Amino acid sequence: MADITAYKPYYSVLILAFFCSLLVGSAAVGLRPLQEKNQQQDRKKNILIAAGLYDSTRTVADLFGNIETRIVDLKSGTFVSVDTVSPEGFDQLKAALSEELGRPLTKAEDIAGIRGIERYSRVYLVTDNDTVRRVILPIRGKGLWSTLYGYIAIEGDMSTVSGISFYEHGETPGLGGEIENRRWQSGWQGKKIYNQSNEEALVVGQKKGQEEAIHHVDGLSGATLTIQGVDDIITFWFGEHGFKPFLTRLRENGGRIDG
Ligand SMILES: Cc1cc2nc3c(=O)[nH]c(=O)nc-3n(C[C@H](O)[C@H](O)[C@H](O)COP(=O)(O)O)c2cc1C
């Protein structure tokens, strides 16, 4: 008959492993709400950074009080009521890939490599007397290794960039990861997205022709491929499938929300 006592050490290892996995599992589940809260806080901070409103001496919640979150129908460029889509709980990334709230992009359309486009998008507004002074837009798309997620803030003329920030990506630190570099980001300030004919004209990195300085943002050395992605992201999100209908409409309304 086999000697059961010979297996004793293995039992204790198994029991220990079981309790450890239980501990790790419950910690992961228990910490999820906190992680989500921190993620939301980080996104708000990045919205404020893009808008040029971030101030480290004040709380994000306090500063965010100056920003209004609205939902826009990307195709028509109109604001959508909270009864149609409430900004709270609206999962924009999920919507992009759903049948109900998004549609797949064709290869020719999908310049930014995002596969699907949502019908509705969140936009963040800085207003004054019901007139939009600054609008902050969520942008995303493929870099070299990963999808880059960020915000870009546009002045009341609906073309001039006031700031950009990236809050999530998997590019190489020191190379593509330099898209987080505040000095590089400050080079976006004052650049114009659209030309006189309302065509998307901003080029990031390698010039494609004789772009004027106002329509050109310098690239980053050692990050040519990531920067190519950023250029594609701008082309897509300020084009017909992105925010162009919304920005054009708002400009024609003189920035008035109710128009
Ligand atoms: C380990 C490794 C990581 C890299 N990470 C990036 C990156 O995040 N973004 C990028 O554009 N290129 C990355 N590259 C590619 C090179 O840096 C490539 O030479 C660069 O894109 C060319 O840019 P340059 O013409 O500005 O030097 C990486 C290369 C290696 C070997």
Q: Would you say residue 31 lies in a domain?
A: no
Three-state secondary structure call for residue 211: coil
Q: For residue 1, what pLDDT is reported?
A: 60
Give yes or no for residue 31 having a pLDDT over 60. Answer: yes
Q: For residue 2, what pLDDT is reported?
A: 62
Ligand 1 nearest-atom number relative to CA 220: 26
Residues spanned by the domain of 79: 60-252
* Contact assessment for residue 246 and residue 240, using Cβ atoms and an 8 Å cutoff: no
Ligand 1 nearest-atom number relative to CA 177: 8
Ligand 1 nearest-atom number relative to CA 225: 11
Question: Measuring from atom 24 of ligand 1, which residue has the nearest CA?
Answer: 222
Work out the burial of residue 254: count CB atoms within 10 Å of its CB; fewer than 13 is exposed, 13-18 middle, 19 or more buried: exposed
Q: Would you say residue 1 lies in a domain?
A: no
All residues at 6 or more sequence positions from 59 whose CB lies less than 8 Å from its CB, including other chains: none
Q: Tell how far the Cα of 119 is from the centroid of ligand 1, in angstroms.
A: 34
- Tell me the pLDDT tens digit for each residue of 96-152: 999 999 999 999 999 999 999 999 999 999 999 889 999 999 999 999 999 999 999
Ligand 1 nearest-atom number relative to CA 223: 11
Q: State the amino acid at position 160 in one-letter form.
A: T
All residues at 6 or more sequence positions from 247 whose CB lies less than 8 Å from its CB, including other chains: 77, 135, 154, 158, 159, 238
Q: Would you say residue 216 lies in a domain?
A: yes
Give yes or no for residue 46 having a pLDDT over 90. Answer: yes
* Contact assessment for residue 141 and residue 229, using Cβ atoms and an 8 Å cutoff: yes
Q: Tell how far the Cα of 197 is from the centroid of ligand 1, in angstroms.
A: 35
Under DSSP, the state recorded for 88 is T
Q: Tell how far the Cα of 118 is from the centroid of ligand 1, in angstroms.
A: 31
Which is more confidently placed, 8 or 193?
A: 193
* Contact assessment for residue 46 and residue 56, using Cβ atoms and an 8 Å cutoff: no
Please tell me if the CB atom of residue 179 comes closer than 6 angstroms to any atom of ligand 1: no
Question: Measuring from atom 19 of ligand 1, which residue has the nearest CA?
Answer: 222
Give the mean pLDDT of the chain: 93
- The total number of structural domains in the chain stands at 1
Q: Would you say residue 215 lies in a domain?
A: yes
Give yes or no for residue 259 having a pLDDT over 70. Answer: no
Please tell me if the CB atom of residue 223 comes closer than 6 angstroms to any atom of ligand 1: yes
23 pLDDT tier (thresholds 50, 70, 90): confident
Give yes or no for residue 30 having a pLDDT over 60. Answer: yes
Which of 2, 1, 144, 127 has its CA nearest to residue 53? 127
The predicted model gives 67-94 an average pLDDT of 93
Q: Would you say residue 206 lies in a domain?
A: yes
Q: Would you say residue 93 lies in a domain?
A: yes
Tell me how crowded residue 79 is: count the other CB atoms within 10 A of its CB. 19
Give yes or no for residue 175 having a pLDDT over 70. Answer: yes
Q: Would you say residue 218 lies in a domain?
A: yes
The predicted model gives 90-96 an average pLDDT of 95
The Cα 151–Cα 35 span in angstroms is 20
Please tell me if the CB atom of residue 92 comes closer than 6 angstroms to any atom of ligand 1: no
Give yes or no for residue 27 having a pLDDT over 80. Answer: no
Please tell me if the CB atom of residue 232 comes closer than 6 angstroms to any atom of ligand 1: no
The Cα 228–Cα 41 span in angstroms is 29
Question: End-to-end distance of the chain based on CA atoms, in angstroms?
Answer: 88
The predicted model gives 171-198 an average pLDDT of 97
Q: Tell how far the Cα of 174 is from the centroid of ligand 1, in angstroms.
A: 10
Q: Would you say residue 17 lies in a domain?
A: no
The Cα 69–Cα 78 span in angstroms is 14
Please give the model's pTM, rounded to 2 decimal places: 0.88
